[in-house]
Amino acid sequence: MLGAACAVLLAASEQPGAALREEAGPPAAEAALRAEQLDAIAKGLEFLAAQQSRELGSIGAKYQVGVTSLAGMAFLGAGYGYNRGRYGEQIALCLKYVLESAQSEAHPGFLAKAGEDHPMHGHALGVLFLTQAYGELPAGVQRKAGDAIRRGIERIRSARSREGGWYYGPTNESHQDENSVTVCVLQALRGARNVGFDVDEELIAGARRYVERCQKADGSFRYQVAPEVAWSTFELTCASVASLQALGAYGSDEVRRGLDCLERYLSKTPLAPLDAAARYRFYGNFYAAQVFFLAGGERWRTWQSRAFPQLIEEGRRQGWRWKDRFGDECATAMAVLILEVPLGYLPIFRR
């Protein structure tokens, strides 16, 4: 176990300032959890690398742009870089696949595989992945990635609804929207802006207003801004709070009420926090990890001390892969990303 953990630590040492975040707690217990966390990350990355197409660079049998982007971020999130370190080649292959997915005559610049359901999720994750890798890419590849990010932003801009949100497809003549797509797009826009791309402030401001208008009186966030769509979930609330935090609204009333609501959800499964997410388990907890890490303090300590052992034990039982209905590759990439949040390599995980 420690050998695999050391591999991740060695990768981490390749970049400055990437120590695990220190939190108060029993030193021995914390050290043991840290070793298990790093070992689980290493084993999850081994699984993802084994699933990658050497010819195409894709990972997963469905939702390939989104899953390949999540896997690419998981490799980056352990401290590896483009053609650097143990998984440098895998990152390069992920990047190649995502860049080539934009070659669509019908919707140029839209990152999607033809025929996939709900492709805006994948497009937003693809743009986000490119922004997370962008800063350390070699000049020629960086130019290609930059072009893809700019065109990706334009595709996002053209698909916005009148209400300021986004829906599932690359076009939106009927001006539909829903919150889970909107928060995914918001993270991509934030990632692009953070690495120097021109993102219209009104595009982000309108999306922020959309998310805020989805909040209900109890602090949860519903699926759509339309008042007749009343249902809300732990997953949507996590994603919404994370997107507002990503915009710097850490102390806003919406974030505060959202955090209080999430605590009420978690009180129903206090010893198994991952189970607060029902239908979209890994999606919900991918955002929950970001929410509580950025909230910090006791919220993060309590959530991590229970969620990480639960997640690690699930991986151990399943042969160091994680499973859900969107495929083992998708679940494993998100599980690894959750465990990587406190490592601090990915800009989206930083305050």
pLDDT at 30 exceeding the cut of 70: yes
CA-CA-CA-CA dihedral for 52, 56, 59, 63, to nearest 10: -170
2 band by pLDDT with thresholds 50, 70 and 90: very low
Specify the pLDDT at position 114. Answer: 79
Give 199-243 pLDDT, tens digit per residue.
Answer: 999 999 999 999 999 999 999 999 999 878 889 999 999 999 999
pLDDT at 12 exceeding the cut of 70: no
The CATH classification of domain 2-11+26-349, taken from the options 3.30.390.10, 1.50.10.20, 3.90.1150.10, 3.40.190.10: 1.50.10.20
Nearest to 3, CA basis, from 28, 48, 35, 33: 35
210 sits in which H/E element: helix 201-213
105 band by pLDDT with thresholds 50, 70 and 90: confident
Give 153-165 pLDDT, tens digit per residue.
Answer: 999 999 999 999 9
Specify the pLDDT at position 13. Answer: 43
Say if CB 233 and CB 279 are below 8 A apart.
Answer: yes
Say if CB 212 and CB 156 are below 8 A apart.
Answer: no
Specify the pLDDT at position 27. Answer: 65
Contacts of 75 (CB under 8 A, 6+ apart): 45, 48, 49, 87, 90, 91, 94
Say if CB 312 and CB 318 are below 8 A apart.
Answer: no
Say if CB 347 and CB 83 are below 8 A apart.
Answer: no
Nearest to 48, CA basis, from 21, 24, 67, 25: 67
Say if CB 77 and CB 345 are below 8 A apart.
Answer: yes
pLDDT at 185 exceeding the cut of 70: yes
Residue type, 80: Y
Specify the pLDDT at position 327. Answer: 95
What is the mean pLDDT of the segment spanning 241-257? 95
- Average pLDDT for the chain: 91
